[in-house]
Each structure stands twice: as C-alpha cells, then as structure tokens.
Amino acid sequence: MSNQYQQYSTVRKYWHLMRPHTLTASVVPVLVGTATAKLFLLGSEDHLKLSLFLAMLLACLLIQAATNMFNEYYDFKKGLDDHTSVGIGGAIVRNGMSPKLVINLAIAFYVIAGLLGLFIASQSSFLLIPVGIVCMAVGYLYTGGPFPISWTPFGELFAGVFMGLIIILISFFIQTDNIQGYAVWISVPIIITIGLINMANNIRDRVKDKQSGRKTLPILLGKNNSIRFMAVMYIVAYVWVVYTAFFVPGGSIFYLLALLSFPFPVKAIRRFKKNDTPAEMMPAMAATGKTNTVFGLLYALGIYISALLGGI
C-alpha cells in the first residue's frame, strides 16, 4: 500500500509540475484554428488531417508544459519562489525535485515537441520550422536568458500573440496550406483571453515581483487600473464575437455560444477587486483560466457547427 501511495505521490508531483490548469491555453488555440480551417475546406475534396491536428495539439501541450518548467526552474534559481509561493507547481521548493531534473525534463519535452514539429513540417511546409523555433525560443526566454520577457511589461502581449494568434494560424495553415485574414480576425478574442491569464498572474504576484525588480504591466499600472484594463479587454473580446457573428462575412450566430462563458470573467473581476493577498486572489486567477477554457471551447464549437452547416 505504501509503495502504491509513493507511486501516486510521484505521479502527482510530475503532474503538478506541468501546471495542468494552464494547459488549456494551448488546447484552445489549436481547436479554434482547426475549426476555422474546417470553414475553408467546405466545398473541396480536402478533409481535416487528424494526424496533423493531434501532432499539433501534443506539440503545443509539451511546449506549454516545458515553459512552465522553465518558469519553475528560473524563478527558483533567482530566489523568487519558496515553499510559501502560490500558483506554482512547487516541484522544487515543496516536493523536493532537483532543479536539474526539472530543467532536463523541460528540455526533453522540447525535443519531443521539436520532433513533432518536424513531422508537421514534412506533411505541410518546411517554412514552419523557423516559425516553430521562434515559438519555442519565446517559451524559453519568457523566464530564461539574460532579459526574461516575464520581467517586462510585455508578458501579456507575448503570451497572447504567440499562444493565441500564432498557434491558431499554424493550426489553420497545416490544414488548408494557406493563411486567410479571417483566421487572424477570429483569433483576436483568444489573444485577449490568453493574455489576461498572464495578467491575472501578474496582478496576483505584483508585490513580490516589484521587490524582485520586475516591471510587469500590473506593477506599472497599479492594481486598480490593471483590473479596469482587464475588464475593458474582456468586454472587447465579447463584443468582438458579437460583431463577428452579425456583421462579418462568414460569421454565424453559433459563435454566440461563447457568450455563455460570461459569468467567469465577471467572477474574476469581482474577486480581484475584493481580495489583495496572493492566496486570496487565487480564485480570481482560476476564474481567468476558466474564462479562456470555457470561452475558447464554446467559440471553437460555434465555429465548427457553422462549418458543418455551410460556413463561409
């Protein structure tokens, strides 16, 4: 029984290291990009390529998990994380994993993701290789390197653009062999919801981050202005969906399924306003993650239903 518990405990440590609650930020863009591709494959003899979809999904999950591990490693090395830190996997400071094991595991995930990327490129276009290298470099440089992105006011922008826009466009391209402006337009709400996950994390950690010398956007704006900015951007995301559904050629009322997620950002804003310590703000942080997950899944579903019913 003790051996079984030990095995379970070990598996749980590795699971927490990957920060599974963040991984939907990789899943959602792949689903949205693939669903949008389905719109443009209607009327042709081409079908969605399941092998490329699965390879893309797994590669993105591995890169996201590895990025979380790089974060865990470098924040520990710089003295930012200890056993009291919230919102981290805690593999090193609480679960006793060696920093070397964490960084080696991150590199192994990157190697597997790279091999999947080569497979995707071989079936689509080798021009995707430099794009993939840049994306992986950004994942590493977010907390690694001499000038980590996470120490600047641009973390939200990089997270939104590279995880939202770029993943959606690659997922679209590998299915259709082209890029359409409509795919860029569709990606905007996802860019916002993913970027705001990052912002929620920075609002929660702003006091400790400021002490360490970071200059994140919430540190520059202050808590209250950061919450206002978050609220405005959520409104933009939802209005964008409504506008697309009714006024953009190819839009569909099924996109409005995403509006069912609206209680989650409301909950996030209210909880950020009400609470101030990192531990107290964890439910608000979780609500931003759920916003991206539920919004994104419903958005992708709406796009896919629209494609099945005739699409563009």
| Cα–Cα nearest to 272, from 292, 286, 291, 258 | 286
Of all residues in the chain, the percent with pLDDT exceeding 70 is 91
In this predicted structure, what is the pLDDT of residue 88?
A: 59
SS (H, E, C) 12-49: HHHHHHCCHHHCHHHHHHHHHHHHHHHHHHCCCCCCCC
Question: What percent of the chain has pLDDT above 90?
Answer: 71
Q: 181 to each of 57, 163, 173, 302, how far by Cα in Å?
A: 22, 18, 12, 19
- Chain centroid to Cα 192, Å, comes to 10
Find the mean pLDDT for residues 37-52. 83
Helices (H) and strands (E) in the chain, counts: 13, 0
For residue 16, the model assigns a pLDDT of: 76
Amino acid 5: pLDDT: 43
Task: Dump pLDDT digits (tens) for 131-183.
Answer: 999 999 999 999 888 889 999 999 999 999 999 999 999 999 999 999 999 99
Residue 89: what pLDDT?
Answer: 56
Prediction pTM value: 0.91
Structure tokens at 309: 């019913």
Q: pLDDT by residue (tens digit) across 205-214? A: 999 889 888 9
